[in-house]
Amino acid sequence: MSKKALFIILIFWSAIVTAEIVYQTPEDFIANNLTYNYSKKSIWLSKSQKEIVKNILQIPYTQSRYYVWQDAKENQAFIISYVAKNKPFTMGFIVHKQKIIYSKILIYREIHGGQVANKYFLQQFDAAYLNDDLTLSTNIDGITGASLSVAATKRMARLALYLAKIKIDG
């Protein structure tokens, strides 16, 4: 194989490896799923809440602040990013009265596991709520070849539901 052909193959391969699929921007997700009169608020986690979030996400650290967008109908939107294997992907959740009413993969950056963006997979989260032991009320079926991404979506759903339980000041 010539050096030129190898170079072209490497260029195309690097484009595939670093691909980012944007299904919807976070801004459009919020605007399309909340009523026009919504506001963005901060959720500041206490030390004990941070420990719970670390447990949910199964990571050694977490941020101190998350954001929630809430409309007049008490729908809440959460935008959450999480690393499944190598790169973070971003999901949006609409929560009403501590139940998920809609979820969507917004930006997917991993090479494998993109099947989690399928609407039939995501519909499994509809009506899910958080049990007292911080597990999902609904069993989420896995996808062959997407185990890490499925686990990540479940963790993000649990986080969105946990954040929905926290009282927001203001």
Predicted confidence (pLDDT) per residue in 81-123, tens digit = 999 888 999 999 999 999 999 999 999 998 888 899 999 999 9
pLDDT exceeds cutoff 50 at 151: yes
Measured over all CA atoms, what is the biggest interatomic distance in the chain, rounded to whole angstroms?
Answer: 65
**Is the model more confident about 19 or about 144?**
144
φ/ψ of 79, rounded to 5, equals: -115, 120
Q: What percent of the chain has pLDDT over 90?
A: 72
Query: Are 79 and 112 in contact, with CB atoms under 8 Å apart?
Result: no
Overall average pLDDT of the 128-142 stretch:
95
Extents of the domains making up the chain: 20-165
